[in-house]
């Protein structure tokens, strides 16, 4: 069991190393001639106006909140799916109730306009 | 056990004997072998990525009635190597005001998130990195790492286009993660395990595609969205935000994003093959007959899996080069108002039918027909909805064509 996760750790180590080596190779063999214009953030040829990191529409945050809501519920689905056959009828009814509650929240969000982009 | 029916374990045992014979501690040997295995699989996937660059360019050329790379080597096969050399000797530009650490970390993480998926991708019943019992959870977790890389790159670039592209991409990825995970649950229910190998072995007689074709379709659609490929490529919409989150990246850093994207597409093709199309096995019970026992040989299974994964990859490419880009509100509405409820209904139907039909002769046709029924009902509901909208539109415009579906009433 522990050995499996040791193998995953080995994967993480090698995967990060591969990327790092590729970047180091690029830095070693690439030319380095800095000019002010070249280092400017690209903005279709104009001089950039204001900072690059700026305020974003609130709609993206709304999607993130919806995602957290659904994702936590889906994490609950995963163990259920594995032991579903052992749980028998109980598991089925339990999950039906759970999905019903989930759907109430879903339709509430829909009616409130949380799923609209405007 | 010989080399021919279990090559990896054979080689590993030989190496373990050799290393312990040299006087290494047993734990040290295990760690070394794990590192070696990871290195082997990752090298294989990277070589594959180089080959995929060629495949992608050749196939897109065919879709667009061109020849594609054909100068370097036979059929242009050496072209990707020339591309890599060029990427390495290009200047590596970090824009002014960028967060240097995060800016450099993002491409590494983007590639690593894909390479990590190869740990749980079995190429044959005895050729795999790790047989995790929570593989599906791991698949989702590694995918989330890719999302993190994108928001990192977009934010650290100090560029408006990059930030906008990153936000769009993250909105897409986290939205489509929900139908994707729900569609992954269906193979998990049918096989009773989350291990990718276990799910594949459970498809020896019937592919899960025939038990739940809708789940396969939902998985494919959300995989395409997760990849940020057309028609969901709002993150790098060339005509709007140039290249999106990797607009400031040049040289090898761009190469890492690019290789990661291609490999990701292939990996999702592979997972579609493993979870729904029998993966390396799944010859409809044929492999259990004595005359066809050779189908269980890893040297047959691995090419079969690669072929299936390539077909999956080809379908993803086909979608990419055929569909126009969708608008962001359409994309999110398609996910939240259509795909998510559909996936939840499908999950519940599969669970109920799996319970009701367990052990009966109607198990396979019942599940298949229920999927067809859901698909038909969905199409009917959509058509009725479209008709209502057209009617409302016609009444609003008042052109006198109140009849639903009249050609003058648009939409």
Query: What confidence category does residue B409 fall into, taking pLDDT thresholds of 50, 70 and 90?
Result: very low
Helices (H), B64-134: 79-88, 100-117
Check: CB of residue B336 under 8 Å from CB of residue B243.
Answer: no
A63 touches chain B (CB under 8 A): yes
Residue A63 structure tokens: 């999607």
Q: Contact at 8 Å (CB) between B265 and B317?
A: yes
Instruction: Tell me which residues of chain A have a pLDDT lower than 50.
Output: none
Task: Go through chain B and tell me how many residues it has.
Answer: 411
pLDDT given at position B266: 92
Nearest to B119 among A11, A31, A52 (CB): A11
Mean pLDDT of all residues belonging to chain B: 85
Would the CB atoms of B192 and A14 count as touching at under 8 Å?
A: no
Domain boundaries, chain A: 2-111
pLDDT in tens, B221-258: 999 988 888 788 776 766 777 777 888 888 888 888 88
Which of residues 11 through 40 in chain A touch B, CB cutoff 8 A?
A: 11-16, 18-20, 22-23, 25-27, 29-33, 36, 38-40
Inter-helix orientation angle B160-191/B213-227, to 10°: 160
How confident is the model at residue B70, as a pLDDT? 84
CATH 3.90.1170.20 fits A2-111, yes or no: no
Rounded to the nearest 10 degrees, what angle do helices B79-88 and A2-29 cross at? Answer: 70
B218 or B7: which carries more pLDDT confidence? B218
Nearest to B257 by CA among B145, B345, B153: B153
Q: What is the structure's pLDDT at B407?
A: 53
Q: Mapping DSSP to helix (H, G, I), strand (E, B) and coil, where does residue A45 land?
A: coil
Q: Which of B136, B171, B192 sits opposite A60 (nearest CB)?
A: B171
| Strand spans (E) along B15-143 | none
- Six-digit token pair at B255? 């190469």
Q: What is the pLDDT of residue B220?
A: 92
Q: Mean pLDDT score of chain A, rounded to an integer?
A: 83
B9/B15 Cα distance (integer angstroms): 10
Span B72-78, average pLDDT: 84
B203 pLDDT exceeds 80?
yes
Cβ of A40 and B95 within 8 Å? yes
Question: Three-state SS for B106?
Answer: helix
Nearest to B159 among A11, A41, A118 (CB): A41
| Segments in A30-57 forming alpha helices (H) | 36-39
Which residue spans within B247-384 are E strands per DSSP? none
| Cα–Cα distance, A50 to A37 (Å, whole number) | 16
What does the pLDDT average to over B185-202? 87
CB B282 within 8 A of CB B203: yes
Given a cut of 80, is residue B74 above it in pLDDT?
Answer: yes
A contact test, residue of B46, B115, B128 with most A CBs within 10 A: B115
Rg (CA), chain B: 24
What is the rounded average pLDDT of the residues B26-40? 83
Query: How many CA atoms within 13 Å lie on the side-chain side of A86?
Result: 7
Predicted pLDDT at B10: 80
Distance (Å, whole) CA B291 – CA B286: 9
How far does B75 lie from chain A, in Å, by closest CA?
Answer: 27
DSSP string across B275-293:
HHS-TT--STTGGGSGGGG
Alpha-carbon span B115 to B126, nearest angstrom:
19
């Amino acid at each position: 069991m522990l050995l499996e996760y040791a193998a995953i750790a080995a994967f993480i180590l090698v995967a990060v190393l591969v990327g790092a080596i590729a970047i180091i190779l690029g830095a070693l063999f690439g030319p380095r001639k800095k000019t002010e214009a070249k280092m400017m953030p690209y903005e279709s040829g104009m001089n950039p106006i204001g900072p690059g990191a700026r305020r974003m529409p609130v709609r993206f945050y709304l999607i993130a909140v919806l995602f957290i809501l659904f994702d936590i519920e889906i994490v609950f689905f995963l163990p259920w799916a594995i032991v579903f056959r052992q749980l028998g009828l109980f598991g089925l009814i339990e999950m039906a109730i759970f999905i019903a509650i989930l759907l109430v929240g879903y339709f509430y969000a829909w009616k409130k306009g949380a799923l609209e982009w405007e | 056990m010989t080399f021919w029916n279990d090559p990896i374990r054979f080689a590993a045992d030989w190496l373990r004997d050799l290393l312990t014979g040299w006087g290494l501690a047993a734990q040290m040997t295990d760690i070394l072998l794990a590192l070696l295995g990871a290195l082997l699989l990752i090298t294989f996937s990277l070589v594959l990525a180089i080959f995929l660059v060629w495949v992608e360019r050749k196939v897109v050329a065919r879709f667009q009635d061109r020849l594609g790379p054909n100068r370097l080597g036979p059929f242009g096969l050496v072209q990707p190597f020339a591309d890599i050399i060029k990427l390495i000797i290009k200047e590596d530009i970090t824009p002014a005001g960028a967060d240097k650490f995060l800016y450099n970390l993002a491409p590494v993480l983007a590639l690593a998130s894909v390479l990590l998926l190869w740990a749980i991708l079995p190429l044959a019943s005895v050729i795999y990195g790790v047989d995790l019992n929570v593989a599906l959870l791991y698949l989702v977790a590694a995918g989330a790492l890719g999302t993190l890389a994108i928001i990192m790159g977009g934010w650290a670039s100090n560029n408006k286009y990059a930030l906008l592209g990153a936000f769009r991409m993250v909105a897409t990825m986290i939205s489509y993660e929900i139908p994707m995970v729900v569609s992954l649950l269906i193979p998990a229910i049918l096989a009773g395990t989350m291990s990718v190998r276990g799910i594949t072995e459970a498809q020896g007689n019937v592919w899960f595609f025939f038990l739940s074709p809708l789940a396969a379709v939902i998985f494919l659609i959300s995989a395409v969205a997760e990849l940020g490929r057309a028609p969901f490529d709002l993150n790098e919409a060339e005509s709007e935000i140039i290249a999106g989150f990797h607009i400031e990246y040049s040289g090898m850093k761009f190469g890492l994003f690019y290789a990661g994207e291609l490999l990701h597409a292939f990996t999702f093709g592979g997972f579609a093959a493993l979870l729904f199309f029998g993966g390396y096995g799944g010859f409809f019970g044929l492999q259990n007959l004595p005359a066809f026992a050779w189908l269980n040989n890893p040297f047959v299974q691995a090419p079969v899996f690669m072929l299936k994964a390539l077909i999956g990859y080809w379908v993803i490419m086909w979608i990419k080069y055929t569909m126009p880009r969708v608008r962001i509100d359409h994309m999110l509405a398609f996910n939240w108002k259509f795909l998510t409820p559909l996936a939840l209904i499908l999950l519940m139907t599969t669970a109920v039918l799996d319970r009701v039909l367990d052990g009966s002769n109607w198990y396979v046709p019942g599940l298949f027909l229920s999927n067809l029924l859901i698909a038909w009902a969905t199409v009917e509901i959509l058509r009725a909805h479209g008709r209502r909208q057209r009617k409302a539109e016609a009444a609003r415009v008042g052109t006198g064509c109140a009849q639903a579906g009249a050609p003058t009433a648009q939409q």
